[in-house]
Structure 1
Amino acid sequence: MHKASITIALFWIIGTALMFIMNWDANDMQFNAILASPNIEAIFGRDDYGRSIIYRLFAGFKNSIEIILVVSLISCTTGVVIGTVSGYVGGKFDAIVSFIINLFMSFPGILLAIAFAAMLNPGKLNLILALSIGGWVSYARLSRGQALMVRNFEYVKASKSMGASHWWIVARHLIPSLSTPLLVEATYAVAGLIIAEASLSFLGLGLQAPEASWGAMMRDSVRYLLVSPHYAIFVGMSIMSIVYCINHTGDYLHKYFNIKESLTKH
């Protein structure tokens, strides 16, 4: 399973890198080869505009990664700061933050993203904003729980007794303690964001033509499912493969850190 995940990741990374090195054009149209089946020139076949499906998939992968990295950075930073400060400070501030977190978690994240994306104009920037609206909640919940536990540790109390400021304790002790659980959480979150980004693009609320998007490609391929099934199959397999790869990595990290922690205790 590990080899399969590594192979999948290398395929998309190397393929996307080669696309820029070899200057492959994902928007090149061959009107005499519309919906052509897989062949030597286009190993995944061509779409409804005669464009190479594999080139479009590589371009869509690049766009998805750019969006997801920015969304993850915004969500993780916002969630960690809010959750850590809330758990450390406690009191009314923590109660308010907890209420907001529970309020956001009472709605499915994809519905929140769809609602905000629908209110904004379609595009990369607005897609990032829509996905970031609820993305911080899981990080805040995790950070708050960790802060509530760590703030009672002896070394934190020792820092307080020595006159350390609250911000120094948060930055020096609380946030570093989150590194392991955050890495696992971020891995699963990325897989969810790939599906969310594809879903919004499928609904026409994400990236717009001529920019490549896996969700938009899936939407277009459905129209020709009976005529050219290879289009939908390759797009669907691409989404499934990268989500599987990321989820498998998350499972591996979770098991690895749990084993490491149990060995440390013994």
Structure 2
Amino acid sequence: MATISRTVEWTLLTDHETALKMLPPAVEQAKFKVKSLNPDEIAVDVPQALLSNQWAAKITGSIVPDADKTHIEWRVEGLGNKHYKHLIKISEGLPEGMLDDHGVQAAASQVALRFFGRKEIAHLANVLDRGETVQAIGVGRLENKPGIVAATDRRLLFLEKSIGSEDLTSFSLGAIQAVDLKKAIGGETLTINHSGTKASVTALGHGQGDSLAKAIRDAQTASAHQPTAPDPASVTAPADDFIAQLERLAELHAKGILNDEEFQTQKAILLSKQG
């Protein structure tokens, strides 16, 4: 069996010093071992536990302070497919509300999620990018495989949760051209046209398809209305830079490199930018 490596991003809603104090007890509560800890990194050993189907693994977390927050980029290396589960165990040892869950629990509280408990829903946070927020959530089947579907402010994703699997399928919002929803007595079906292909999540609970479709459309609308970064060429030059450019133009004019008309044209362009 090959060793698998997975990367997970955490944001702890506390300062760097507190984060360093809280991590070791959380690791110990998970019955793992802190191999080393310094302000920039924590290394954790996960022992093999055959009775609980736990393979040995090595976890390394790069710690980055950010004002009153602390970011951790985890790298989990080991056999099997319980990489996310290791981090869930560590997170359970942290004080309530310390770990940013990207809005997962808030979204989950709005709908009835059959067959999935709080711990399983928490797996979603492990596959999200830093700053990504869940807008809507549901439980259904993709290609006849059960899992959790979520619409975030960046994409639609499906986390398969069948026995022995934690596979992730992701569809970026920018590549979703159409969203279709069908309702039936047995549940709802959400179909998206993504980069010219179709994908359908079936057996969604009543209301879940509606919430997901609305979240996708709202996120696409918000993305379309985001202001674009200004063209650097159009940004007004600082006063000292403006004077230097004007002096340069005058020098070129005096040397005959620019004629009168060219000098006045370039000068007018500079003045318009300054204004």
Larger Rg: 2
Q: TM-score normalized by structure 1?
A: 0.25
> Relative contact order: is structure 1 or structure 2 higher (C-alpha 8 Å, sep ≥ 6)?
1
More helix by share: 1
Q: TM-score normalized by structure 2?
A: 0.24
More strand by share: 2
